Structure 1
Amino acid sequence: MRKTAAKLLAAVAIATSVATVATGTAVADPAAGVTPAAQDIVGVGSDTTQAVLNQFSTDYNAFLGASSTLPRLYSWDAIGTSPITTKTGATSIARPNGSGAGISALNANTKTTVDFARSSRGPKAGDPASDLFVAFAKDAVSYATATTGSHAPVDLTKDALTKIYNCTYTNWNQIPGYTGVGGAIKAYLPQTGSGTLSFFLSALGLAAGGTCVQPTAVQENQGTDPLLADADAIVPYSVAHYIGQVYNGHGSGTDQAGAVTVRSIDGIAPIDAAHVLTKTFSDTTFGRVVYNVVREANWNAGDTQATALRAIFGTNGWVCKNATAAADITSYGFRTLPVGACGSTTHA
């Protein structure tokens, strides 16, 4: 066991000294015909971070090399055919759609089925104390409206957003200083279990959306939904995911920005001229750290899979130390975390 751990940690150390490693195009879910092995590190959950985790899996597995017998990394998207059999010998499960659903799947199963849950929210009351949230990047959430013809302002205050989602404001012309044509606001929220849903409401100081919120939930970060092309529609949206979709060529199928554009809050633009998530915006209430959630017992077990988890996600692991991983984080719209913050762990 000690020899296996030494080999894996040595491999990670080598990666930190290599500026260029083999990369490939990320794919959704494990590639067709590929079933992860029982020892592999497999995750489910967040829509927001699924694309960058797909890229991580491609690049980390290339880094290990075809002949390596060490655990590989795989990630299952939030939506797709269901149920899924995540790895060899796993229990078949309903595909988890969102951070909360991924965390629930982590806690309802063992490492024979799920090793980590992607999460775009941090720990909160009600999460099991056995869950360890491992930080890996910085994101932010703003609101999105139709790119053309929207009745919504292109800049709203936090107070106005709160009053939209608690139903104090139900028409655009109720917003102080509004000069548009008005219209009944159609406020949308993402699907139940979404980390973006949980984070956005918390940022507004709300436990839930008001009764005026549209009864149809939308899949988070999918501006292709025809409901969002409405001139009166508004929806929370991951800034990083939007950047990846619109500027860096990572959108595909329904996972695209479509007819919506991410807007400013309190006069602070979330995206700069270089199409990067601005530090100023990510330092506001609407900035968030994104995580991969593991079982603390598995993280500390000292076996091959525990060593692999740390070698991938830990402070000295591939995600936090490898130049290709850093480039992936940036390409998918996120901001890298400072040394020591990436790979740091926290509980509920």
Structure 2
Amino acid sequence: MHIPRKAARTVAVAVTALAVAAAVAVVGPPVLADPPAGVTPATGDIVGVGSTTTRDVMNRYSTAYDAQNPTPSRKLYSWDPGQHSLPPKKGCVNVTWPTDSDTGIRALHNDAAAYNTSGVCVDFARSSRYPDATRPEDANKTFIAFARDAMTWAAMPVTPKRTPKNLTVTQLRNIYLCVLTDWHNANPALPSGPIQPYLPSGSDTRTTFLRALSNSGDANGPNPSLTPGSCVRQPAAVESDSGVSLQVNLRAGDTIGNVLMPYSAGAWVAQSRGGDAVDLRNGFTVRQIDGVPAAIPDVAAGAAGPYSLNPNGRLPRLLFNVVKNNPANNDLAAVSASYATVFGKAGYICTHPLSADRGFLSLPTSGTGPRCGDKYGLGSAPPSSPQTGGQTTGGWLITVYYTAVEGFHHGPPQQVRGCPRQECTFGADDLGTYPTDFVQAVRDEGAGRITSGTRAGTYLNWSYDTGYWLDAIPADTAGHRLEPFQTAGADAATLGRGTRFTIASCGMALDGSPVDAAGCTRLRAATWTVRDEFTPGLGGDKHIDLYIGEEDRVNFTASPLYLSGVGARITVVG
């Protein structure tokens, strides 16, 4: 028995221990925005500016920190973005407050005195993006992680329904490249209607979202941010994580029911829970990406709250507070003791996890994967996967997939329509006529090599969000060639793209019998790299799919290599 690679089912999302840790509340009096009225921070206080995304969270932390008994000798303050032109501290000149991570880090960078010395006006910057080598202001900075968020997309439910509950990363990429422009083509169950994509102007939500779309969902991937197409609406006044702002700035002729926008899932959850987070949703709901909900329970499926952030969100990102490195040695480890008291592993933030109504999930202080207080800089960017090198874990399901070969199939002829190139979705061009069992194998496995006619040597590819298309290669989800005994597929929440691993044990066959020894030996001899993704609903926790190349015989699915194993063990090697 083998699990078909393209079979559809509902993704089961597990709530991890991270969500349990986040249930501990930050204690303290009611939160206040900015320093209290009439208060100008003292010269020695710790003052921050920057990201809108983490504004409310850091306001809460600063209020609770300053209310400790005994009172800290250096109080903590976090100025709201873009509201003032005031001195950040006594003795400092008036400044207009930064509005996002970029301008916050730039203000920290431009403060000539900023490294825990007298005359410092900006001690830290709030950031909801990773260190970026293309930004000069990120040099000689320490990004200190404290919480987890996930990016997603949001739309307003209307009647009749115009937008789907789920889009894939590929579909979102094509929407923001203006390749996919009709909701019916995104989901044939929907009526035809123009897709009207919006982006907030100059925010870290925008930057992170576009970076993730350019890197198959990895917001810290190597490719630069996606350049939006000409159809993307980018009004200068549209604020991040705000359906209210989008409604006010809706382009003339657009319909709110056709609109989508990126949204911080953590910010949406916080807005839905009330408290000190202002509810800016305006009816917008966060939706699924690749079948993975942004919130638990799943509002996209109509579930009622209270909601929490899904720790397995499809476009994860870390949240940081950024300080300058010690200019004497420029060492990430050399964060001053006074800053570590607030931001370090044993500091106030890491020892006072966020409550669920804050939206974001506090990082744990121990274990594998990103931890609260971990320090990053250029050249030491956060990992895209919680797995760590050298770790062997059990309980995996392993399956295999392959490229079909037309010459081994002899069923009745079937015409195939689709796209002559991967530049459209669900096209209607005539792509040729092939054996029915070959066409089905392409749909099951994802690709097949054509061996007859004028298209011999090219590949018929299929994806649930694109349909059929012709290509010069058997393609993975990023459009790169599948490599036999190298390429593996996994959900991003299970193993991040680029993770390398080996098979330590193939486990048992699905019926409880031993797996084929020769087939398992071939799989164990290889080193695999996650470069592909499951059709949403097919993957799930601890499921990996191994690409074994082209079929080499009739009835290839009866060969020793075409196996499934439960209870397998894998070793992550990088």
**TM-score tier (shorter):** 0.7 to 0.9
SS state at 2:257 partner: coil
Calculate percent identity across the aligned residue pairs.
Answer: 35
Residue 72 (1) aligns with residue 71 (2): no
Deviation string for 1:286-313 (max 9, x for gaps)?
A: 0111101110128999xxx932210000
Change (3 A) 1:275 1:298: farther
Letter aligned with residue 129 of structure 2 = R
**What is the aligned counterpart of 1:203 among 201, 206, 212?**
212
Residue 50 (1) aligns with residue 55 (2): yes
Superposed, 1:1-348 pairs within 5 Å as 23-66=28-71, 68=72, 70-80=73-83, 82-109=84-111, 110-111=113-114, 112-127=120-135, 128-149=138-159, 151-175=162-186, 177-192=187-202, 194-205=203-214, 206-217=225-236, 218-225=238-245, 226=247, 227=249, 230-252=256-278, 256-273=280-297, 275-281=307-313, 284=314, 286-297=315-326, 306-321=336-351, 325-328=352-355, 330-340=356-366, 341-348=371-378
Measured after TM superposition, the shift of residue 248 of structure 1 is 4.0
Deviation string for 1:157-186 (max 9, x for gaps)?
A: 1111000001101222232x3322232222
Change (3 A) 1:53 1:300: farther
Letter aligned with residue 145 of structure 1 = A
Higher relative CO (CA 8 A, sep ≥ 6), structure 1 or 2? 1
State the TM-score, normalized to the length of structure 1.
0.84
- Answer whether contact 2:31 2:276 (CA < 8 A) is retained: no
Letter aligned with residue 194 of structure 2 = A
Structure 1 gap segments, 5+ residues each: 1-18
CA RMSD of aligned residues (A): 2.3
SS state at 1:212 partner: coil
Measured after TM superposition, the shift of residue 332 of structure 1 is 0.9
Q: Which one has the bigger helix percentage?
A: 1
Query: Which piece of structure 1 moves more, 130-139 or 212-221?
Result: 212-221
State the TM-score, normalized to the length of structure 2.
0.52
- Answer whether contact 1:298 1:306 (CA < 8 A) is retained: no
Measured after TM superposition, the shift of residue 126 of structure 1 is 2.4
SS state at 2:158 partner: coil
Measured after TM superposition, the shift of residue 216 of structure 1 is 0.7
SS state at 1:224 partner: helix
Between the aligned partners of 2:94 and 2:226, the Cα distance in structure 1 is 33
Measured after TM superposition, the shift of residue 59 of structure 1 is 0.4
Regions of 4+ moved over 4 Å: 19-22, 298-301
Measured after TM superposition, the shift of residue 64 of structure 1 is 4.7
What corresponds to 1:4 in structure 2? none
Deviation string for 1:232-257 (max 9, x for gaps)?
A: 111111111111111243333xx521
SS state at 2:321 partner: strand
Letter aligned with residue 196 of structure 1 = T
Between the aligned partners of 2:328 and 2:54, the Cα distance in structure 1 is 21
Letter aligned with residue 93 of structure 2 = T
Measured after TM superposition, the shift of residue 124 of structure 1 is 1.1
Letter aligned with residue 181 of structure 1 = P
SS state at 2:266 partner: helix
Letter aligned with residue 259 of structure 1 = G
Between the aligned partners of 1:36 and 1:146, the Cα distance in structure 2 is 41
SS state at 2:362 partner: coil
Between the aligned partners of 2:265 and 2:244, the Cα distance in structure 1 is 16
Between the aligned partners of 1:256 and 1:65, the Cα distance in structure 2 is 37
Between the aligned partners of 2:294 and 2:26, the Cα distance in structure 1 is 31
Between the aligned partners of 2:296 and 2:26, the Cα distance in structure 1 is 29
How many equivalent pairs are there?
313
Structure 2 gap segments, 5+ residues each: 1-23, 115-119, 215-224, 298-305, 379-574
- Answer whether contact 1:96 1:102 (CA < 8 A) is retained: yes
